[in-house]
């Protein structure tokens, strides 16, 4: 079979249209948007335009959009910024999240616990990784500063009911932050009811080092970076104009094709999942079988090593991963799979396949997976 790159949840190639859109702001229109001359004004106009374009996609105002260095910074700014502001304003010292979040969420929450004395509630998830709105309602307190939940999980692809969760937080006036890093390009970003949304550019065809945190204007945010007061005082530092243009362009392209590509990719994913489950007796699909990202298929293969299966797949022209790229090199079983109730020895056999928006030929993929697993199982 032809070589297949199926690790798009880790990163995607930069779209040619994005490179073209960026180029002027890396060459002749290189000015600092804070400078009061024509070259600076060119950059300022491009930055304002990019901000408005992103705002239209997430369903917020242009002034709500903060350009960041990626999803990790956006998540840190959302959680720490909202929580510390709430602490300063009303003494709030409680945050809510789940045990299956990205490390940038969990480590930010742990920082609040260690440094500022916050109480942390980890909402339970079921065996598919779903959060119940009733559990969230029960966990809310008068002193809850922020709720942070991943719109779609980065390892198993389970999609949360964002609208249902926001229906719980909104009446209590508790800000809901959605980590939409994996959801962008696959799921609608507007109409969720979220008060803050994180996006990473390199998941949708923009370069690494670009991202967005959109926070509704009524939510006070304590900045992490202090200095010149850029981004309405919420993130100081000279703006990455080319990066902002890249994110806006990539998001627009992804949104234009989202409905068609999500349906097409989901159909290919389902065919692949059915093939793997039919050909590999030890295969177990992880995550929600229905409410999952269109491009994500994740399995455990009991009795193997996930890393060994990955090597065998690469020999067969298939590039995939054993889970979150941010945890690469760790010998610890996935905290996500542990939270789903999967035993450590089985969790260490996990393999994740994440598809691109572009059409790919998956006709021989399930057989390649079966052959790779068989090779590992038969190895001395």
303 backbone φψ class: left, alpha, beta (φ>0; ψ -120 to 50): left
For the question of residue 326 being annotated catalytic, the response is yes
C-alpha separations of 314 from 1, 109, 180, 268, 358 in Å: 12, 36, 29, 20, 20
Residue with tokens 């374009």: 53
Residue with tokens 């409905």: 259
Find out whether 67 and 117 touch, Cβ atoms under 8 Å: no
269-288 burial: b if 16+ Cβ within 10 Å, else e: beebbebbeebbeebbbbbb
Helices (H) and strands (E) in the chain, counts: 11, 12
Residue with tokens 């002193």: 143
Which one of 115, 326, 328, 379 is the catalytic residue?
326
C-alpha separations of 320 from 136, 145, 263, 310, 335 in Å: 34, 38, 22, 7, 19
248-260 burial: b if 16+ Cβ within 10 Å, else e: bbbbbbbbeebee
Find out whether 192 and 165 touch, Cβ atoms under 8 Å: no
Nearest Cα neighbor of 242 from 1, 10, 30, 36 is: 30
DSSP class per residue in 31-45: --TTSSSHHHHHHHH
For 274, the token pair is 């059915």
- 118 vs 144: CA distance, rounded Å: 10
Nearest Cα neighbor of 326 from 73, 198, 154, 110 is: 154
Which residues fall within 8 angstroms of residue 136, CB to CB, at 6 or more apart?
96, 123, 147, 165, 168, 169
Residues annotated as catalytic (active site), given as ranges: 326
């Amino acid at each position: 079979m032809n070589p297949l790159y199926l690790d798009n949840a880790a990163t995607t190639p930069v779209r040619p249209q994005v490179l073209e859109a960026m180029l002027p702001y890396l060459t002749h229109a290189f000015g600092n948007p804070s400078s009061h001359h024509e070259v600076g004004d060119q950059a300022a106009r491009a930055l304002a335009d990019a901000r408005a374009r992103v705002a239209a996609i997430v369903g917020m105002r242009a002034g709500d959009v903060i350009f960041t260095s990626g999803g990790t910074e956006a998540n840190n700014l959302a959680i720490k910024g909202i929580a510390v502001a709430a602490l300063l304003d009303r003494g709030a010292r409680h945050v809510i999240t789940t045990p299956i979040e990205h490390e940038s969420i969990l480590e930010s929450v742990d920082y609040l616990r260690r440094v500022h004395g916050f109480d942390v509630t980890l909402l339970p998830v079921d065996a598919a990784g779903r959060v119940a709105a009733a559990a969230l309602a029960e966990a809310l307190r008068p002193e809850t500063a922020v709720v942070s939940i991943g719109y779609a999980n980065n390892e198993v692809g389970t999609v949360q009911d964002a609208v249902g969760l926001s229906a719980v937080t909104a009446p209590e006036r508790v800000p809901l932050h959605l980590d939409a890093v994996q959801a962008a390009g696959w799921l609608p970003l507007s109409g969720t009811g979220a008060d803050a949304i994180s996006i990473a550019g390199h998941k949708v065809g923009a370069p690494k080092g670009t991202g967005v945190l959109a926070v509704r204007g009524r939510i006070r945010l304590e900045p992490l970076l202090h200095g010149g007061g850029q981004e309405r005082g919420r993130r100081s530092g000279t703006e990455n104009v080319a990066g902002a243009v890249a994110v806006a362009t990539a998001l627009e392209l992804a949104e234009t094709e989202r409905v068609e590509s999500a349906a097409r990719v989901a159909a290919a994913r389902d065919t692949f999942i059915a093939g793997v489950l039919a050909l590999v007796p030890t295969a177990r699909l992880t995550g929600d079988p229905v409410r999952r990202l269109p491009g994500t298929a994740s399995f455990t293969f009991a009795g193997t090593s996930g890393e060994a299966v990955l090597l065998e797949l690469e020999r067969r022209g298939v590039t995939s991963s054993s889970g979150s790229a941010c945890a690469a090199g760790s010998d610890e079983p996935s905290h996500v799979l542990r939270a789903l109730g999967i035993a450590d020895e089985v969790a260490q056999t996990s393999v994740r396949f994440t598809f691109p928006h572009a059409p790919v030929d998956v006709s021989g993929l399930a057989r390649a997976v079966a052959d790779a697993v068989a090779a590992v199982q038969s190895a001395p």
